[in-house]
Chains A and B, each alone.
Chain A
Amino acid sequence: MKQFGKLGGLIPWIALVVLILIVGSFDTTFLKPATLIGLFADSATLFLMAIGMTAVIYIGSIDLSLQSIAAISSIVLALLIPDYGMLAIPAALLAGVLFGGLSGVVHAVLRLPSFIATLAVGGVVTTAALYLSDQRSIQIDAQPRLDTLSWAIGTMFGVPNEVWVSLVVLAVALVIEQATPFGKAMKAVGCGEAAARVAGIDVRKIKIVVFMIAGLFAALSGVVLAGRLSSGSPIIANEFLLPAIAAVVLGGTSLTGGTGGVLRTLVGTLLIAVVRTGMTFVGVNVLAQQIVFGVILVAAVALSTGRAPKGVMK
């Protein structure tokens, strides 16, 4: 949103405050800190996936397979918890990293456009998820759930653990993005691949690792989701793709890559959460809410193309 100058980065935050006040004026209980923290906790799984999506969009690509990856990680978790306990968590995350890496290889090495590469890999992941789960949802029993997943579903200092997990992930992602050579290389790839390559950056490696990171965060989102719902299922994250992309774009990370970041995705996710709560409050059907998210997504992209490079728009 270059046309708004330095204020551009603040617009999503201002919109967030205004929206919270609007919803709050209908229902004052909405403004209580407990309600707002609860809202954040409920959007934590979406936020984790959106963080992964941010990394991919930051380098100018897109990942349409993250919801399938979250689903398969929830299934791996639910299948392994009875026998392996805590070890099920790294296994579920590893599944996400592997499938993310597969997308990365198909995109960066085989040179397929990322949207088609991830659409195709998403199909493979969905089939794997349906195969592993035998096409049903797998329950996680109450006791093993408490033993292995209380870090994700309990509360600490009166705040739900989903919030703490989100904050830790946000901090880690922020450090990677802002303070490591890898973060700089990501930005370089997003700003201009050709220039990045000339500057000696191994673009392929960066891309593959970014897709692995996205897979990791999507898998983490699947693990937390499985903890919240006490089950793993092949359709557990089916309504997540659109809000996740919308959260990233709404926060101000440009689809063309190189600008934005995880902090902006935080405000984007909160905006989505407030809009969703507002709509639920007024009684809008969950599927019908897609109208609003679809329009928001398109509008946010349209507004941010002010800084898109000139040229052919496919």
Chain B
Amino acid sequence: MKSMKSRWASAIPLFVLIGLCVAIAVLDPKFLSLGNIGRIAAAASAPLVLALGATFIILMGSIDLSVEGAMAFAGAVLAAFVANASGTGFDIGLAAIPIALLAAAAFGCFIGMVHVYLKVPSFMASLGMGFVGIGIATVLLGGERVGILDQNVRALALTRVLGLPLSVYVSLFMLAVAWFIQDHTRIGRHIMALGGGEDLAAASGINVRRVRLLAFTIAGMFFGVGAVLTSARLGASSALLGSGQLFTAISAVVVGGTALTGGKGGVLQTVIGVLIVIVLNNGMIILGLPSFVQQGVLGLAIILAVLLNSSGRSLAIVK
């Protein structure tokens, strides 16, 4: 049975989101126009998928700083297999997307292997490998920004159904997948168990290494989907495809209420977190604030959110 206090604490992100929406709507009613809500949904699609991937890792009590590198790598692979502006590579149309996702999953799996078998802490393994991903993407793309000409891929961002681009539906589908993995599969429950206490999880017979490997692979796949959506929107791929997305993804997960210590939170919390981040950004644009203020605001939001989520570990050593 949850205590009253912790139940209130887990509802805080929702109240923050509602409060933000009300405050911005009062300052400028345009915020609630259908056009703007559609813009928010479209802007939230790629960040949501990325944050969902990061959620699994953070639920485990680890961290993944490779978001930008994984995106760059997946984006470069995508560009290599569709019709692109450089005129090189293999043009296999939509079949490029599963290949890009596979590459991203393999990239995540590799980070997991470095983390598990070489016993490198996850933040360091993912930081180092993230830079490797950006480097590989640079080599694959020849250091250029390569335009993606394939209209079927670009349709993800350009074709609209019921007023919303396809990418919104893709991200909702990925949300359903993430929710299913978390709540209805063994690996999802094991990830939660690891976050709650790794010693205990291992003692009760969970193969900790396998769970960690799988979690990083799943996260990599989600980053791949995020990369495909982003390059469809930009109509191009480059090594800097994921620039700034790490900060957005991590802050969305944390602001949503998933604890960095693991075992607490989940994909639905992440949806709230992503909406908070995107609404905040949208509101700042509507109110005419320069976009670079966002990073500072998000930085403060991260600190606040971690603080709110950190009750009960005051005696632990924090490194």
Contact = CB atoms under 8 A, between A and B. Distances in A.
Interface stretch (B80-88, B171-179, B297-305): B297-305
Contacts of B297: 127
Interface stretch (B31-39, B116-124, B266-274): B116-124
Interface stretch (A171-179, A209-217, A289-297): A289-297
A287 B143 contact: yes
A193 B118 contact: no
Dominant SS among interface residues on chain A:
helix
A288 B239 CA distance: 10
A293 B130 CA distance: 11
A302 B120 contact: yes
B134 interface: yes
Nearest to B306: A112
A126 B122 CA distance: 25
Interface in B125-146: 125, 127-132, 134-136, 138-139, 143
B120 A301 contact: yes
A131 B314 CA distance: 36
A191 interface: no
A151 B62 CA distance: 45
B66 to A, nearest CB: 10
A60 B299 contact: no
Contact of A294 (B63, B115, B129): B129
Nearest to B117: A302
A193 B132 contact: no
By size class, the interface of chain A is 35 or more
Given A112-B307, A112-B318, A116-B254, A301 B128 contact: yes
B135 A128 contact: no
Interface stretch (A20-28, A82-90, A117-125, A218-226): A117-125
Interface in A280-314: 285, 287-295, 297-298, 301-302, 305, 308, 312-314
Contacts of A257: 319
Interface in B262-319: 262, 290, 292-300, 302-303, 306-307, 310, 313-314, 317-319
Contacts of A289: 135
B319 A61 contact: yes
B119 A305 contact: yes
B63 A115 contact: yes
Dominant SS among interface residues on chain B:
helix
A110 B247 contact: no
Nearest to B199: A312
B207 to A, nearest CB: 15
Contacts of A291: 131-132, 135-136, 139
A124 B118 contact: no
A298 B296 contact: no
B241 interface: no
A270 interface: no
B198 interface: yes
Contacts of A119: 247, 250, 299, 302
Contact of B299 (A107, A127, A194): A127
A266 B120 CA distance: 23
B120 A127 contact: no
Given A114-B319, A314-B122, A123 B260 contact: no
A302 B251 CA distance: 28
Pairs A-B, 7 closest by C-beta atoms: A127-B296, A123-B299, A291-B135, A294-B132, A302-B118, A294-B131, A290-B135
Interface of B: 61-63, 65, 114-115, 118-125, 127-132, 134-136, 138-139, 143, 198-199, 239, 247, 250-251, 254, 260, 262, 290, 292-300, 302-303, 306-307, 310, 313-314, 317-319
23 contacts: A110-B303, A113-B260, A115-B123, A116-B63, A116-B302, A120-B298, A120-B300, A121-B303, A123-B296, A126-B295, A242-B131, A287-B143, A290-B132, A291-B135, A291-B136, A294-B128, A294-B129, A294-B130, A297-B127, A298-B118, A301-B118, A301-B125, A302-B120
